[in-house]
Every structure is written in C-alpha cells, then in structure tokens.
C-alpha cells in the first residue's frame, strides 16, 4: 500500500486489513487523483500501486471515466454513501462489481477525499442473468402451453398457474386457492386424487399420475389427466410440486365414438357373414338337387340333344356353386373367421394336382397345358395345402380360359429371395393393359371380359390375393397387352419332410370303389330334413342294387332309428348334428327332440348344457358305436374337419353332393361290411 499517511496516518493494523482485503479499495482526492490503492485494485486494473498514485480516473479507467466521475460527484455533493453496480474493463475482461463510495471529511464536516470499495460480483451477475432468462422462458411456456401448469408450494398452496386454466375450466386460475380448486373435483374422484398427492407429500413417491373430473365454470364435467412431479429441497424434504393437467374429454369421446363405430362395423360384418353363411346353405340345398339329379341323368344313356342340355345344367350349376363358395370365402376372410391349416406343403405335388384338374378344361378349349413340373418346384412352402391348390387352380384355369385356341400355359418355380419361393403361371393370351393392372385383383371387376369372354365370377383373383396374404405370401402379375400374362405367388419355404396331406377325407372324387358284396340289403340311414336331398340320395343309391334307405328328418329320430334298425351306414346332415335335446326322463338311451324339422340349438357340451350331439350319442351307445357315419353339409372349416375326423367320421361330403363321391363312400363301407 502506498502513502498511508495521506488518510490520516492509519496504523499498521488498518494497513494490513486493507492490503489483504478481497475487494479493491482505493482513495482519491477531490480532483479525482488516486491517493491510495490496495493490492487487489492493482491486480484487477493491471496497474501497480506505485504507478497509480497521482493518476486520474481517466488515465486508469478511460472507458468508464465518465460514469465514475458522475458517481463521485453525487457522493461529494450529497454527502452520503453511494452503492451501485458497475461494469469495468479489467485485465481479465469485462467484469461486474458492486461499488461503495463515501467521503472522508474534516472536523468541520467538509469532504477531503473519496473512498471506494469495489467487490467483484461477475459470477453472481451471470447466475442472475441465467435465472432471469429461465424466468422468461418459464413465463413463455406458461403462456403458450395448451395444458394447465400449476406450481404448488411446500404447503400445497398454489404459487403459479398457467393461463390455460381459464380456457379449460372457464375460470381465473390465479384467483383460486387449493381449497377452492378441491371443491370443483368430482366427489367420486377425490379419494383417488387425495391418495396420489399424499404420496408426494410424505415422500413415498416423487411422481404421480391420475385421471379425474373437474367441474367447469358453466357446470359440465371436464375429464383431465394430471402428471405431478415433486420438488425436493437440499434436505430431501418436499418443497412443492409441478402439476401438468391436460383436458382429455374430447379425446375420450372420440375414442368412444371409434369403439362404437368399430363395434357397429364388427356387428355389421358379423351379420353380413352370418347372412352369407346362411344364404350359402340355403342356396346349396336347391343346388344339391339340381346338380345331383343332373349327374344322375348324365350317368344314363341320353339322346345327344338331351345330353347337351344336361351338360349345360351342370356347367351353370357348378358356375353358381363356384360363385357361392368364393363369396363365402371372402366373407370369412373379412370377418376373421377364415381358418388355415398351415403346414409344410410340397410345391410340385400341389402344382401337379392343379394341372391335372385343369387338363379337361384345356382340352376343351384347345390350349396346350405344359405339364412338365419345373425341377425347382421340388421344394416345400409354408401354406394351407387346400387353399394353395385353390389359388393355383384359379390361376391355371384363368390362364386357359383367357387364352386363344392353340395358346400355351406353363408354370415355373424360382427363388424370389432368401427363404422365399415364387410359383408362376404364364399364358399366351390376351394380356392386360398397363392402365388396368391395378384393377385385376378388384372383386367383380372383369375388365370387360363379361361382355366378350368366358363365364366367370369376377372374385377369383380377389379371393386368391386374400388367401395368399393370409398365408404370409404375396401375389402379383406382369403382363403385355395382346401377348400374355404371368401371375405369380410368393411364399416362405419350409422343410419338405414335415409336409402333411390336408386333403378332405371322403372327398368328392371317384375314389377306390369296393365291390359290393352279395350279403343282405345294404341299409343306409339318412338323417336329413330336406325332402329334395332325401329323394336325391335315394335315387343315387338305386345305382347300387341291394341298397335300402331309411329316412329321419330330425336328429332325435335318427338316433332312435339307428338303435332300432342297425344300419350299415349313417349319412348325417351336418346342420342337424348338434340339435338333439336332453334325454327323455324314464327312457334310458333315448334322447328328446328340440323341435321339428329345421329346429336348431346351441352346440354346448353335454356336461355344461345337458345336451348331447348325434355323434356323441351314437358313440356312447354300444348298440350304435360300431356304425360308420359320413357327414353331409356345407363346406366345413378346418377345425370342423379335424373335430369330425377325430370323432370317427368316415367321410365328409359337401353340398351340392357329388354323386360319384357319395357312391365312393358307400362302396368303401360296403366293401368292409362284415358278414
């Protein structure tokens, strides 16, 4: 320190305090020349104490000289200390200080010198500026947020709340107390809300989420979701909370509308599917007679004109049957009822079957069907065998029908990527225009072929696409107009050695015909409610001399007649299989009947509903358990097939009945009849 005597000869102790002060201390005369500076002042200014003495403010602090002079004039003129914040250009750059200035006076009270003490507050100012910026940011968030943001104090008092509360609740959010807000909560929700906040207050949880209802200023209830975050002080105690509240009333209402709409759509879809299923059954019943009797006529020698007429009847009937089946399949897919029997399916085997089934059509239309199986088809894919056959048969038959006489159809198999196999069907037909490619797989859109081309349903390709996609594959085509098309199916590969043959038991083909024996009359019990179907089966069995038909038009009577007449074969209409009521009291082994022909009942299990099905009763009775049963009905789904075969059914025949298929079942049972 320099010149201590200039301030009245301060003692050594005072000089020591000044010299070691962390603040910059200086003394000036009334003309602004430095009389004394301490070591801290020199460090901050970069001017040694020796060089500072006698210099003016303008010489030491040229950038701040005017501001400093104004402050010092105020001190001398007013005669009172002055404290203010100042920024100074120091050796360390621009720094913030809090500066206290006061006057030293003589015995008469007149100023003799000015003393200044400058303490650096740069870090504090930085923190204050950051806090101010955060405050501005918080204020902006509070104003912009569409949600209500509430800041609670240590005692859960409302310290701050955003303006969104006015919009959502219709009241001034700043004017309400926590007690007033509590009264607006729905009485049924207060307990849940109190429990959530209790966990925040007692420190058992730092976060809480809740949904509750709050009364709007106009009286209606607003449903809100709130998320609360506890504020914890340095001691770990609860210091308040921030609560963000969102109005979810409209969202919940929209979700309910979606659920209601989905439910209505599902109900409508189920009703449509049920309608189509019933219509399929109702349409199959007359078709059963049309196709059945036409097949009988076809089996007899007829004049050419009559034979042609029968062929037309069969062709039209089968076309209608195809349409029924395809529409029903689409309905099953749309309702989620389609069942697939996924397994490892050898591609060459399915392609070969499809080619064989298409060969008669190709022969009639003069199209060359390339029947050599591509060697690359010697793989297996993951698929439902019956559905894959249905798809390939549709592609092959289309390739033949939409070809020209002398045209050609062939199939190929190639790898479409790792673990993926593509099966293609290529024709030399009319092709598809580029602008029509997107319409090919649309249902009922035949691209004008209904006017000039062969008969068709217009849903085969749409159904094929849906079937392939449900098997995890894809279907597509490439085409050149007037030159031909290539349709392809891609499926995931599988191990061929796990392949299973999922063909329906007792199918409608010729099958192996056993030679009827010369034993007594072959007795067939037909449980069927439709008179035309009864008549058809009787006419078919006339083709097998020695056959006798016993008819039962409801399930209960069918069980009784089976016990009484011991038939060699029972033909059971699938829709009647589960229509047997509880057993008649006092008559052991004889079931009651739920109603007349056409009655139906629930298919609950005997244990749960007290009911029994025809198959259950026949299997449980020693007098009938040995009688083979074949089922006739609409095309069963996969689970039905498994269930029926597992219950000992020897054949599954679909309506309309294939006459040769029925005879095949009858001959197979006759060939193994004992005696």
Share of the chain above pLDDT 70, in %: 81
Flag whether 61 is in a domain: yes
Flag whether 505 is in a domain: no
Please check whether residues 550 and 474 belong to one and the same domain.
no
User: Which among 277, 302, 332 is the end of a domain?
Assistant: 332
What is the DSSP code string of 612-669? Answer: --HHHHHHH-TTTTTS-EEEEES---HHHHHHHHHTT--EEEESSPPHHHHHHHHHHH
**pLDDT over 90 (residue 43):** yes
User: What pLDDT is attached to residue 342?
Assistant: 87
Q: Supply φ then ψ for residue 280, to 5 degrees.
A: -60, -45
**pLDDT over 50 (residue 351):** yes
For 46-64, the pLDDT digits (tens) are 999 899 999 999 999 999 9
**Is residue 169 within 8 Å of 222, Cβ to Cβ?**
yes
Flag whether 385 is in a domain: yes
Other beta carbons within 10 angstroms of residue 363's beta carbon come to 12
308 confidence band (pLDDT: 50, 70, 90)? confident
For 562-579, the pLDDT digits (tens) are 888 899 999 988 877 776
Dihedral over Cα of 393, 394, 399, 401: its sign: positive
**pLDDT over 90 (residue 144):** no
For 384-437, the pLDDT digits (tens) are 888 898 888 889 888 888 888 888 998 888 888 888 999 999 998 888 888 777
3-class secondary structure, 214: strand
Angle formed at CA 319 by CA 317 and CA 325, multiple of 5 degrees = 100
Average pLDDT over residues 478-486: 87
- Count: domains in the chain: 5
Flag whether 516 is in a domain: no
Q: Over the chain, what is the mean pLDDT?
A: 79
Please check whether residues 355 and 286 belong to one and the same domain.
no
User: What pLDDT is attached to residue 604?
Assistant: 38
Please check whether residues 589 and 490 belong to one and the same domain.
no
Average pLDDT over residues 201-223: 88
- State the burial class of residue 127 (Cβ atoms within 10 Å of its Cβ: 0-12, 13-18, 19+): exposed
For 239-270, the pLDDT digits (tens) are 888 899 999 999 999 999 999 998 888 787 77
User: What pLDDT is attached to residue 157?
Assistant: 82
Tokens of 324: 């029924």
CA distance 449 to 447: 6
- State the DSSP code for 233: -
**Is residue 615 within 8 Å of 647, Cβ to Cβ?**
yes
Please check whether residues 349 and 325 belong to one and the same domain.
no
Please check whether residues 349 and 450 belong to one and the same domain.
yes
84 confidence band (pLDDT: 50, 70, 90)? very high
Tokens of 622: 């020693």
Please check whether residues 361 and 490 belong to one and the same domain.
yes
CA distance 652 to 571: 10
- What letters, b where the CB count within 10 A reaches 16 and e where it falls short, cover 324-357? bbbbbbbbbbebeebbbbbbbbbbbbbbebbbee
Flag whether 140 is in a domain: no
**Radius of gyration for the alpha carbons in the chain, expressed in angstroms and rounded:** 49
User: What pLDDT is attached to residue 4?
Assistant: 46
3-class secondary structure, 48: coil
Please check whether residues 352 and 321 belong to one and the same domain.
no
Q: Residue 380's closest CA among 504, 473, 491, 503?
A: 491
Provide the domain limits for residue 364: 342-498
| Highest mean pLDDT of the ranges 45-54, 201-210, 348-357, 371-380 | 45-54
3-class secondary structure, 151: strand
User: What pLDDT is attached to residue 445?
Assistant: 61
Q: Supply φ then ψ for residue 375, to 5 degrees.
A: -55, -30
Dihedral over Cα of 59, 61, 67, 68: its sign: negative
Q: Residue 249's closest CA among 221, 227, 226, 228?
A: 221
Please give the span between the terminal C-alpha atoms of the chain, in angstroms, as a whole number.
138
Please check whether residues 290 and 356 belong to one and the same domain.
no
User: What pLDDT is attached to residue 458?
Assistant: 62
Question: Where do the DSSP E strands lie in 201-237?
Answer: 207-215, 221-232
Q: Residue 445's closest CA among 431, 430, 456, 433?
A: 456
Flag whether 261 is in a domain: no
Dihedral over Cα of 138, 143, 145, 148: its sign: positive
**Is residue 164 within 8 Å of 148, Cβ to Cβ?**
yes
Please check whether residues 492 and 361 belong to one and the same domain.
yes
671 confidence band (pLDDT: 50, 70, 90)? confident
448 conformational bin, left if phi > 0, alpha if psi -120 to 50, beta if neither = left
CB neighbour list of residue 245: distance below 8 Å, 6 or more residues apart? 147, 148, 149, 150, 168, 224, 225, 226
Dihedral over Cα of 544, 550, 551, 554: its sign: negative
Other beta carbons within 10 angstroms of residue 398's beta carbon come to 23
Please check whether residues 420 and 553 belong to one and the same domain.
no
User: Which among 281, 298, 332 is the end of a domain?
Assistant: 332
CA distance 428 to 403: 6
User: What pLDDT is attached to residue 454?
Assistant: 55
What is the DSSP code string of 67-92? Answer: HHHHHHHHHHHH-S-EEEEEEEEETT
Please check whether residues 552 and 614 belong to one and the same domain.
yes
User: What pLDDT is attached to residue 113?
Assistant: 93
Please check whether residues 356 and 487 belong to one and the same domain.
yes
Average pLDDT over residues 338-345: 82
User: What pLDDT is attached to residue 585?
Assistant: 39
Flag whether 279 is in a domain: yes
Q: Residue 328's closest CA among 385, 284, 391?
A: 284
For 145-183, the pLDDT digits (tens) are 889 888 888 887 888 888 888 888 888 766 667 778 888
Flag whether 262 is in a domain: no
Share of the chain above pLDDT 90, in %: 21
Kindly report the CATH number assigned to the domain that includes residue 558: 3.40.50.2300
Length of the chain: 675
Dihedral over Cα of 573, 578, 584, 590: its sign: positive
Kindly report the CATH number assigned to the domain that includes residue 48: 3.30.450.20
More confident residue, 265 or 102: 102
- State the burial class of residue 568 (Cβ atoms within 10 Å of its Cβ: 0-12, 13-18, 19+): buried
Average pLDDT over residues 539-551: 83
CA distance 671 to 515: 6
User: What pLDDT is attached to residue 270?
Assistant: 73
Dihedral over Cα of 589, 590, 591, 592: its sign: negative
What is the DSSP code string of 280-314? Answer: HHHHHHHHHHHHHHHHHHHTS---HHHHHHHHHHH
């Amino acid at each position: 320190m320099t010149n201590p005597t200039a301030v009245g000869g301060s003692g050594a102790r005072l000089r020591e305090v000044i010299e070691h002060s962390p603040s910059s201390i200086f003394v000036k005369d009334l003309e602004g020349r430095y009389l004394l500076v301490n070591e801290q002042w020199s460090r901050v200014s970069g001017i040694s104490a020796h060089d500072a003495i006698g210099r003016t403010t303008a010489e030491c602090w040229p950038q701040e000289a005017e501001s400093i002079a104004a402050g010092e004039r105020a001190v001398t003129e007013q005669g009172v200390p002055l404290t203010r914040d100042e920024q100074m250009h120091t050796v360390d750059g621009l720094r913030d200080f809090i500066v206290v200035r006061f006057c030293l006076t003589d015995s008469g009270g007149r100023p003799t010198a000015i003393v200044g003490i400058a303490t650096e507050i740069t870090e504090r100012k930085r923190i204050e500026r950051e806090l101010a910026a955060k405050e501005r940011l918080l204020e902006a968030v509070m104003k912009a947020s569409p949600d209500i943001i509430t800041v609670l104090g240590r005692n859960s008092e409302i310290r701050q709340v955003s303006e969104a509360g006015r919009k959502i609740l219709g009241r001034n959010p700043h004017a309400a107390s926590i007690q007033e807000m509590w009264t607006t909560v729905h009485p049924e929700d207060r307990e849940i809300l109190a429990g959530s906040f209790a966990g925040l207050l007692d420190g058992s949880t730092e976060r809480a989420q809740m949904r509750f209802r709050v009364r709007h200023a106009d009286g209606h209830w607003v449903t809100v979701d709130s998320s609360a975050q506890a504020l914890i002080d340095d001691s770990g105690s609860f210091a308040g909370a921030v609560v963000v509240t969102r109005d979810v009333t409209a969202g919940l209402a929209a979700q309910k509308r979606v659920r209601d709409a989905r439910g209505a759509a599902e109900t409508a879809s189920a009703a449509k599917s049920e309608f189509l299923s019933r219509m399929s059954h109702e349409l199959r019943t007359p078709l059963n007679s049309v196709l059945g009797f036409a097949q009988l006529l076809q089996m007899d020698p007829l004049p050419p004109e009559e034979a042609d007429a029968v062929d037309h009847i069969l062709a039209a009937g089968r076309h209608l049957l195809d349409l029924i089946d395809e529409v029903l399949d689409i309905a099953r897919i749309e309702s989620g009822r389609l069942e697939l029997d996924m397994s490892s399916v050898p591609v060459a085997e399915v392609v070969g079957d499809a080619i064989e089934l298409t060969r008669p059509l190709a022969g009639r239309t003069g199209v060359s069907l390339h029947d050599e199986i591509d060697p690359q088809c010697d793989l297996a894919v993951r698929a439902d065998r019956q559905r894959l056959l249905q798809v390939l048969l549709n592609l092959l038959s289309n390739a033949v029908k939409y070809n020209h006489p002398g045209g050609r159809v062939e199939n190929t198999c190639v790898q479409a990527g790792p673990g993926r196999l593509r099966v293609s069907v290529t024709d030399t037909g009319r092709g598809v225009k580029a602008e029509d490619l997107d319409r090919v797989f649309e249902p009922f859109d035949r691209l004008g072929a209904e006017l000039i081309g062969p008969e068709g349903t217009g849903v085969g390709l749409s159904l094929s696409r849906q079937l392939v996609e449900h098997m995890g594959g894809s279907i597509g085509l490439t085409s050149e107009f007037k030159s031909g098309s290539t349709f392809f199916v891609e499926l995931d590969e599988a191990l061929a050695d796990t392949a299973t043959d999922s063909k329906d038991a007792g199918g409608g083909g010729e099958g192996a015909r056993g030679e009827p024996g010369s034993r007594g009359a072959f007795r067939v019990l037909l449980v069927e409610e439709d008179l035309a179907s009864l008549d058809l089966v009787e006419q078919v069995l006339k083709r097998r001399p020695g056959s006798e038909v016993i008819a039962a038009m409801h399930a209960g009577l069918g069980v009784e007649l089976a016990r009484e007449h011991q038939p060699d074969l029972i033909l059971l209409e699938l829709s009647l299989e589960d229509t047997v009521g509880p057993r008649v009291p006092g008559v052991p082994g004889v079931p009651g009947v739920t109603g007349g022909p056409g009655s139906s009942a629930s298919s609950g299990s005997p244990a749960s509903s007290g009911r029994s099905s025809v198959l259950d009763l026949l299997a449980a009775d020693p007098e009938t358990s040995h009688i083979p049963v074949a089922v006739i009905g609409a095309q069963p789904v996969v689970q039905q097939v498994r269930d029926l075969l597992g219950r000992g059914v020897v054949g599954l025949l679909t309506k309309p009945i294939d006459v040769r298929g029925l005879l095949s079942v009858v001959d197979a049972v006759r060939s193994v009849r004992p005696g």
